[in-house]
C-alpha cells in the first residue's frame, strides 16, 4: 500500500478490555530469550512464595498451641520452623531477583536491537513521513519507559501473581467459606481497574504524544541554534518550548492522578475485606465451627492475598505507560518496507554503466505524478546532466534509479538487466552518490572512507584520498587519518567534508556515479579542488550530475532538461543553446545574474 508523504505512524490509543495490554505482553515475550534462567527464576519465586505463605500457616499453629497448652517446647519448635521458612523465602527471593535482573537486561537488549535493525530495513518513504522528533521519541523515550517497567515493578508483579495464586489455594484448603468471602475483593478491584483504564489509558497515550512533540521541538531547536541566534528568536523559541512543555506537564499530571486513585481505593477494599473475614470468622468461632488459630491464619492470609493486589494496582501507572510505549514501539516494528526484493531476484554482476529509462512514470502519492513518460539512454562512461526548475523531478530520477522508491510503470535497465530483477543491495553496490550536503559519521576519517566499501584497506583509502585532493589536509589534522570527526564532521570545513565524500565514493569503486551539485556550497578555490577530484572520479564511469549551476554540466555528452516531471529538451550544451529553447532561457538567466553581480545596473 502506498502511503502519503504527510501520513504519520498510527497513534495507538487505549483499546478497551484485554487488548489494552497486548503490546506489553508482546514485549514481555522477550524474557523468553533466556528461557532456562527465566524458568529458574519462576521456580525460585514459587519456592519463596510457598515458604512465605507457610509462615501464616505456622502462625495459626502457634496460636492454637498457646490456646491448648503452655508447653514452651512446642511453641519453640513452631518458631524455629518459622525462622527457617523466613530464611528460605529470603534466599530464594534474593537469588530470583538477581537472576531476573540479567533476564530483563537481555530482553531489553534484544528489543532495542530488533527495533533498530527493523528501522534499517524500512524504505525511505517511511522516514519521509516521520517527524524526526516523533521517531526519536519512539526509539528513545518509549524504550526508556519499557526499560523502567522491566527494571522496577515487573519482578515484583510476577512475584505478586505467584503470591496471589498460592494464597488463594491455601485459603480454599483451610476453609472454602472464608475463602469465598475473601475472594470478593478480586472482581471488585478488577471492575475498578477496568473503569480506571477507560480514563487513564488515553491520558497516558496522549502523554507519549506530548513528549514526542517536546522531543521534536528540542531536536529542531538545537539543530537550528545558529539561525535562532542570528534572527534573535531566543525568547520566542523559549516561549514555544514552555507552551509544549506545559502541555506535557498537564497531560502527565492527569495521567498520574488518575492512576494513583487506585491506591486509596485498593486500601479501602482491603480493609472492608479483612473486616468481613474477621466478622464471619468470629461468628463461626462463636458457633464452634472454627478455631482461633485458623481464623488468625486466615486473617494473615487475607492480608497476604490483598498485598499482591495492592502491589499490582500501586504500579498501575507503570503498567499503563509501559503498555502505551510498547504499542508505539511495535507500531514501528510492524511497519513493512514498501521497496522489497522481488521473488527470484538475483545479484547484479559488475556492470559497464549502460542505463536505459523506458516510459517511466512515478508518484510519491497516488494520483499525483511526479515523473511522466520519461525515456532516455546513458551509454557507459557518459556524463548525463540533469537540470530544470526546483521541484521539476531531477532528484526523483536519481531516487528511482537507486530504487529508493518503486516506479508506477515503465522499465529501468542497467546493462540490459531490469533493476527490479536484481537485489537492492547488489544494485546499490554499483552506484555511488555524492550529495550536495555531505554527511560524515562521528568516527575516524579512515573509518568514514572505509564506509564506501566493506573490506577496503588503509592503503586503498589513502590512495583515494590523494586522488580526491584531501590527503594533504587530512595529514594536517591532529591525528591524521585517525582523527575523530564530531557531529557529522563539524570540525571540518564544508569543502573538506565534500572532498572526503568524493574520496569515499572512489573507495567504493563503483561504475555509476550520482553527483547532486557537489560544489554549490563552497568557495571558488575549493570548487576547483572539488571539480578536479570529481573529474578523476568520473573517469570511465557513467555519471549523472544534478545541476543548479548549469556551467557544471556544460561538458556533458547529454543534458536532460526536466520541467513538471517531463523531459522537455535533451542534447549537448551547444545543441540546445542553438535551439534557444527552455535550456537556453535557464542558462541565460544564470549568465545574466553573473553579469549583474560584476556590472551593477
Where do the DSSP E strands lie in 383-531? 383-387, 409-414, 417-418, 431-434, 512-516
Instruction: Measure the CA–CA gap between 436 and 546, rounded to whole angstroms.
Output: 9
Instruction: Measure the CA–CA gap between 278 and 344, rounded to whole angstroms.
Output: 73
Regarding the domain delimited by 20-333, which CATH topology (the fold level of the hierarchy) does it fall under?
A: ABC transporter transmembrane region fold (1.20.1560)
Instruction: Measure the CA–CA gap between 29 and 37, rounded to whole angstroms.
Output: 14
DSSP per-residue codes, 490-543: TTS-HHHHHHHHHHHHHHHT-SEEEEE-TTTTS-HHHHHHHHHHHHHHHTTSEE
Query: What pLDDT is recorded for position 359?
Result: 96
Instruction: Measure the CA–CA gap between 184 and 302, rounded to whole angstroms.
Output: 11
Query: What pLDDT is recorded for position 123?
Result: 85
- Among left, alpha and beta (phi > 0; psi -120 to 50; other), residue 498 is alpha
Hey, what's the cell of 466? 590523494
Alpha helices, DSSP H, located in 175-184: 176-182
Instruction: Measure the CA–CA gap between 521 and 501, rounded to whole angstroms.
Output: 14
Helix (H) or strand (E) holding 380: none
pTM: 0.74
Instruction: Give the single-character DSSP code of 363.
Output: E
What are the residue ranges in the chain where pLDDT is below 50? Answer: 1-18, 593, 595-601
Query: What pLDDT is recorded for position 522?
Result: 60
Instruction: Measure the CA–CA gap between 16 and 11, rounded to whole angstroms.
Output: 15
Instruction: Give the single-character DSSP code of 339.
Output: S
Reported for 391-395, long-range contacts at CB under 8 A and 24+ positions apart, including other chains, are 392/562, 392/563, 392/564, 392/565, 393/562, 393/564, 393/565, 394/546, 394/562, 395/516, 395/546
Amino acid at each position: 500500500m502506498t502511503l502519503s508523504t504527510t501520513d504519520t505512524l498510527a497513534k495507538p490509543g487505549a483499546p478497551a478490555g484485554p487488548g489494552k495490554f497486548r503490546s506489553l505482553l508482546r514485549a514481555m515475550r522477550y524474557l523468553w530469550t533466556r528461557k532456562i534462567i527465566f524458568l529458574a527464576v519462576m521456580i525460585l519465586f514459587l519456592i519463596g512464595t510457598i515458604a512465605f505463605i507457610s509462615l501464616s500457616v505456622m502462625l495459626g499453629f502457634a496460636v492454637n498451641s498457646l490456646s491448648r497448652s503452655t508447653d514452651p517446647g512446642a511453641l519453640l519448635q513452631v518458631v524455629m520452623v518459622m525462622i527457617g521458612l523466613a530464611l528460605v523465602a529470603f534466599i530464594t527471593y534474593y537469588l530470583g531477583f538477581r537472576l531476573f535482573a540479567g533476564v530483563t537486561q537481555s530482553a531489553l537488549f534484544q528489543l532495542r536491537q530488533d527495533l533498530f535493525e527493523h528501522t534499517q530495513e524500512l524504505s525511505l518513504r517511511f522516514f519521509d513521513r516521520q517527524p524526526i522528533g516523533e521517531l526519536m521519541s519512539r526509539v528513545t523515550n518509549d524504550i526508556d519507559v519499557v526499560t523502567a517497567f522491566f527494571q522496577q515493578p515487573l519482578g515484583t508483579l510476577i512475584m505478586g501473581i505467584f503470591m496471589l495464586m498460592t494464597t488463594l489455594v491455601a485459603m480454599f484448603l483451610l476453609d472454602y467459606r472464608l475463602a469465598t468471602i475473601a475472594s470478593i475483593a478480586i472482581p471488585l478491584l478488577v471492575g475498578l481497574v477496568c473503569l480506571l483504564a477507560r480514563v487513564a489509558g488515553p491520558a497516558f497515550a496522549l502523554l507519549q504524544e506530548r513528549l514526542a512533540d517536546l522531543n521534536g521541538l528540542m531536536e529542531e531547536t538545537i539543530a537550528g541554534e545558529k539561525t535562532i541566534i542570528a534572527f534573535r528568536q531566543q525568547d520566542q523559541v523559549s516561549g514555544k518550548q514552555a507552551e509544549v512543555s506545559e502541555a506535557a506537564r498537564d497531560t502527565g499530571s492527569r495521567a498520574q492522578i488518575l492512576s494513583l486513585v487506585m491506591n486509596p481505593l485498593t486500601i479501602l477494599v482491603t480493609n472492608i475485606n479483612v473486616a468481613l473475614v474477621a466478622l464471619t470468622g468470629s461468628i463461626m468461632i462463636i458457633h464452634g465451627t472454627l478455631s482461633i488459630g485458623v481464623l488468625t491464619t486466615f486473617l494473615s492470609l487475607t492480608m497476604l492475598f490483598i498485598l499482591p493486589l495492592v502491589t499490582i494496582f500501586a504500579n498501575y501507572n507503570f503498567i499503563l505507560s509501559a503498555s502505551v510505549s510498547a504499542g508505539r514501539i511495535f507500531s514501528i516494528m510492524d511497519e513493512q518496507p514498501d521497496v522489497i526484493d522481488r521473488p527470484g531476484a538475483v545479484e547484479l554482476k559488475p556492470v559497464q554503466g549502460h542505463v536505459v529509462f523506458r516510459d517511466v512514470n512515478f508518484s510519491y502519492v497516488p494520483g499525483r505524478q511526479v515523473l511522466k513518460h520519461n525515456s532516455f539512454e546513458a551509454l557507459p562512461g557518459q556524463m548525463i546532466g540533469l537540470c530544470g526548475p526546483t521541484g521539476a523531478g531531477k532528484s526523483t530520477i536519481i531516487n528511482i534509479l537507486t530504487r529508493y522508491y518503486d516506479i508506477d510503470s515503465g522499465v529501468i535497465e542497467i546493462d540490459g538487466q531490469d533493476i527490479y530483477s536484481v537485489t537492492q543491495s547488489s544494485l546499490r553496490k554499483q552506484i555511488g552518490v555524492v550529495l550536495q550536503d555531505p554527511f560524515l559519521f562521528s568516527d575516524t576519517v579512515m573509518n568514514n572512507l572505509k564506509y564506501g566499501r566493506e573490506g577496503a584497506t588503509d592503503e586503498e583509502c589513502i590512495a583515494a584520498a590523494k586522488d580526491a585532493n584531501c590527503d594533504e589536509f587530512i595529514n594536517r589534522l591532529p591525528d591524521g587519518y585517525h582523527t575523530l570527526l564530531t557531529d557529522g564532521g563539524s570540525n571540518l570545513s564544508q569543502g573538506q567534508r565534500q572532498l572526503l565524500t568524493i574520496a569515499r565514493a572512489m573507495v567504493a569503486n563503483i561504475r555509476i556515479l550520482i553527483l547532486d551539485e557537489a560544489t554549490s556550497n563552497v568557495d571558488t578555490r575549493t570548487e576547483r579542488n572539488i571539480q578536479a577530484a570529481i573529474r578523476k572520479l568520473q573517469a570511465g564511469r557513467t555519471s549523472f550530475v544534478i545541476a543548479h549551476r548549469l556551467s557544471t554540466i556544460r561538458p556533458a555528452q547529454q543534458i536532460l532538461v526536466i520541467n513538471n516531471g517531463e523531459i522537455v529538451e535533451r542534447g549537448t550544451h551547444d545543441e540546445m543553446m542553438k535551439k534557444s529553447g527552455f535550456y537556453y532561457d535557464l542558462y541565460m538567466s544564470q549568465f545574466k545574474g553573473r553579469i549583474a553581480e560584476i556590472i551593477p545596473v
